[in-house]
Amino acid sequence: MLAGQEIVWVTGTHGFIGRHISRTLASKGHFVAGLGHGAWPEMEAAVWGVSAWLNGDIAASNLGQLQRLSGSPKTIYHLAGGSSVGAAIAQPREDFARTVSSTAELLEWVRQYTPNTRIVAISSAAVYGSDHEGPIREDALLTPYSPYGYHKRMMEDLCRSYGASFGLAFAIPRLFSVYGAGLKKQLLWDLCSKLAGNNGEIELGGTGHEIRDWVHVEDVARAVVACADLADTSGPVVNIGSGEPLTVRDVARRMIDAWAIHGHPKRDVVFSGKSRAGDPFSLLADVTRLGSILPCLNHTTDAGFDAYVGWYLAASRGNV
């Protein structure tokens, strides 16, 4: 550690978003320490700017150990938690443990040992649920639609409880559909996997009319880091999205176009018409508040989807 370096922690560091947040923090000169699941060789963690890494649950013992390694953090970016609606439906108790119990453990440890540490608790647009049309403001009614969404809301409530009763300062970014090179799940990954497979029609679930708000992981990382300075005991919420409504059909067409740039024939896409459990119809961010802390995004979806396809093809040739 260098003299004067700010110590920051990232939980769930090894995940797709955690790695990018760590790199953004390291690029600002911070000392980044992390805790979460994953075997992560020191050299690889260092590539992402992580100087100290513990592979384990968010438990008091591990948090104490991390404090011994790095010192007390000025800010904790709390990303540890379940990471998909489908997994939460398949194993709801496990998702509860990862998302809710881990937060209970973290907040209690902070209350007892480092009560001045700011917490940026990463939530999800899933807390808004299925009752919305058009851009969703942060003060919209929360009607979660899946165990994943319920557990994220419970995570938020735990922060509010510790803010109100114990004076912890926190902020809550709610992430919409995050994508970027390296993400090996969700719609873009599924589309690439199908485009790389047999020829013929691409079939997707749902109707194709579902609306999502896609935002690049590097913009998400910058936005999340900017949220730290908003932290207070009332826990401001900030939507992290692009504000651009794209249907699943739009996304599929753009990905097929991007795929064609690489010399592959264009393919058709069809939809099963069957929605997936826990899948709201429309999740679009009102980005007014985000605009006040991050005026511009660096990645458009057009360029971002092209880059994703480029990464996928390179990775599948073993070049990444």
Sites of contact with a copy of itself (CB under 8 A): 89, 92-93, 96-97, 100-101, 104-105, 107-108, 111, 144-147, 150-151, 153-154, 157-158, 160-162, 164-166, 277-278
Q: Least distance from C-beta 294 to a copy of itself, angstroms? A: 30
Closer residue to a copy of itself, CB minimum distance, 17 or 100:
100
Q: Least distance from C-beta 85 to a copy of itself, angstroms? A: 10
SS3 287: coil
Closer residue to a copy of itself, CB minimum distance, 34 or 147:
147
Q: Least distance from C-beta 166 to a copy of itself, angstroms? A: 7
Cβ 90 vs Cβ 145: under 8 Å: no
Closer residue to a copy of itself, CB minimum distance, 89 or 260:
89
User: Distance of alpha carbon 270 from its chain centroid, rounded?
Assistant: 28
Q: Least distance from C-beta 267 to a copy of itself, angstroms? A: 34
Calpha distance 100→93 (Å, rounded): 10
Q: Least distance from C-beta 13 to a copy of itself, angstroms? A: 23
SS3 58: coil
Burial of 302 (0-12, 13-18, 19+ CB in 10 A): exposed
Closer residue to a copy of itself, CB minimum distance, 101 or 117:
101
- The DSSP string of 68-93 is HHH---SEEEE--S---HHHHHH-HH
Show the DSSP H helices in the chain as ranges: 16-27, 42-47, 60-70, 85-90, 92-96, 102-113, 147-166, 186-196, 217-227, 248-261, 288-293, 301-316
Closer residue to a copy of itself, CB minimum distance, 92 or 245:
92
Cβ 266 vs Cβ 257: under 8 Å: yes
State the DSSP code for 13: T
Q: Least distance from C-beta 134 to a copy of itself, angstroms? A: 23
| Partners of 245 in the β-ladder | 213
Neighbour count for residue 104 (Cβ, 10 Å) = 15
Q: Least distance from C-beta 148 to a copy of itself, angstroms? A: 9
Calpha distance 240→104 (Å, rounded): 24
Q: Least distance from C-beta 91 to a copy of itself, angstroms? A: 9
Strands 211-216 and 245-247: antiparallel
Closer residue to a copy of itself, CB minimum distance, 100 or 217:
100
Q: Least distance from C-beta 286 to a copy of itself, angstroms? A: 21
Q: What are phi and psi of 282, to 5 degrees?
A: -140, 125
Closer residue to a copy of itself, CB minimum distance, 148 or 176:
148
Calpha distance 37→54 (Å, rounded): 8
Closer residue to a copy of itself, CB minimum distance, 96 or 179:
96
Q: For residue 131, which amino acid is it?
A: D
Q: For residue 287, which amino acid is it?
A: V
Calpha distance 97→81 (Å, rounded): 8
Q: What are phi and psi of 245, to 5 degrees?
A: -80, 120
Closer residue to a copy of itself, CB minimum distance, 88 or 192:
88
